[in-house]
Amino acid sequence: MTLLAAATNESLADLSNKLVYASMAVYMLAFFAHITEWVFGSRSKVGRTAAALTPAAAAGAAPAVQVRTKAGGTAVLDRPKVVTRSATGVRDVPDGPGAAGGTEKGDLYGRIAVSLTVLGFLIEAGGVVSRALSVERAPWGNMYEFNLTFSTVAVGAYLALLALKKNVRWLGLILVTSVLLDLGIATTWLYTASDQLVPALHSYWLWIHVSTAIFCGAVFYIGAAGAVLYLFRDAYESHLEAGRTPGRFRTSVLERMPSAATLDKFSYRINAAVFPLWTFTIVAGAIWAGDAWGRYWGWDPKEVWSFVTWVAYACYLHARATAGWKGRKAAYLALFAFACWIWNYYGVNILLSGKHSYAGV
């Protein structure tokens, strides 16, 4: 019976590895589909003019309502162009038309890319579940398993935003690229064969503490991506406002992105929404430490950098809520906070030693 169970577990581990590589192949196809969407979208006339400042908005006037007359003499009121106010409060800029640039061909490839991303997500999730079944525990006992789950949750969060009808398809190419990088690192340098946990990790708190840490990191990543794109788009809008002409490639890409104001708001809302859960993650970890090691806090490197990350995001949210710290300063602080999270994961696990040294590499 024991030999049969061992053989079954080994087969599940092998299945998990195959599913992970299969998901990478599908994500690669999604990557090329997203690239094609951007290429076809660059041919759109709508895309070339989407980032221009709205004259009426720049002058402080309300957008006029346009009246059209259809066949039969019926008057139709067109809705005024919706613009979003920038973080600095001095620019009113419309969102770009997206990667597809308003073209049917580009939109087709965009929808194909999303479909492939869904397929890759399902396959990768199957790999995570297979890994869990092979070891008969939560699949978060080492960095390899953490990486797999992290990228799966990040893609799942992105797809959830799409399902909620949020305009986030512009994030697809960046997300798929980083997921491929994450899985490449996991399979090349972080791979660890299925094994049982060290005694300290045998607790139901593993399901609570580590799962929330993974979810927070995945969502923080999406917020950081929004902050990076905000910086590029804000610089682009500043060039337009100053009367300068950006390069052709830069114009083709950035004019189709959401406005700087939209990206700034997106990043802030994402980080603000997940910050309470990160607070809970640290509290849960302290409770688990009390059960496992007899103390709630011991200034272990992982504990210290988790707290530093918490402080960084708390400073960001406080600064973002203050008028003088909106925009670029807040974006830099958000990226610093996410850099702290990345260091807490990679740097602390690999370079530093402590009670949380479960990297498995």
Three-class SS of 67-88: EEECCCCCEEEECCCCCEECCC
pLDDT confidence bin for 251, thresholds 50/70/90: confident
pLDDT one-digit tens code per residue, 289-309: 888 788 888 888 989 999 999
Q: pLDDT averaged over the chain?
A: 84
pLDDT of residue 243: 86
Which pair of structure tokens corresponds to residue 26?
């599908």
- Percent helix, strand, coil in the chain, to 5, is 70, 5, 25
Return the closest-CA partner of residue 109 out of 168, 30, 27. Answer: 30
Per-residue pLDDT, 26: 98
Q: Answer with the residue of higher pLDDT: 201 or 132.
A: 132
| pLDDT above 50: residue 351 | yes
CB atoms within 10 A of CB 290: 13
User: Tell me, what's the pLDDT at 195?
Assistant: 73
